[in-house]
Structure 1
Amino acid sequence: MSTDVRDLLQGYFNALNDRDIRACLSLVSDGLILQPNQGFTEHGRDAFAAFLERQLLCYREMIESLVILVEPQGQHAACEYRVIGEYLATDDGLPEACGQRYEMRMGAFFEIQGGLIARISLHFNLPDWLAQVDG
């Protein structure tokens, strides 16, 4: 089971790197719960699609050094990775974008149900990111 979850999550991160919203959406459940580092919890595939569209508009990111840890039952997983990015368009409530480049470590926690991602919880050091783009 953990191999299936690893493949699912590897596919998810590959789709993010490819900037392929459709592929990302095909890997999540209709009732997906998205818990971003900052902001409010979002519910559903449509809300996730809007989140991804905003991400693609505002940021160009590449995920590297991905580590996937899956618990034996295959219902929970944790990932750590490095993001190399460029801030393309100003995101709501954040500094003005002008192509600033940044690098950061991120973590994400996942719940898996029925072979799909049912919850994504994202974590990163916002003050560090702000220092990189607002300097």
Structure 2
Amino acid sequence: MEHSVQYIGMNPYLPILLILIFGLALGLGVSGVSFLLGPKKPNQHKLEVYECGLPITSTAERRFSIKFYLTAILFILFDIETIFMYLWSAAFDYLGWFGIVEIGIFVATLAIGYIYVLKRGALRWD
């Protein structure tokens, strides 16, 4: 005998809303407890900028090259492709030929962007 449970009137987005509320409450709660119980004794050494364990000699000497930030942004952009391709592979049977064309367009766009980045020299670390 088959038992089926039907949820009448339940919104399908309710679990997502509950997870969002729980995550927000947990984050704010932990941050609040840390703020209330954490030490608050600022001094000159705590307020100094700390970078890679090296003392700062001057502000102009310790600046990062803009290439560092560009490389980090490019990593994030090209890393998103992994998420998209994973979701696409999970829905491969459902999407059919439309999914194959869609991922082909996506990979072509990604390849064009990668070639553009290579030609501009954004990945060269000089």
Give TM-score, length-normalised by structure 2: 0.21
Larger radius of gyration: 2
Higher RCO (CA-CA < 8 Å; seq separation 6+): 1
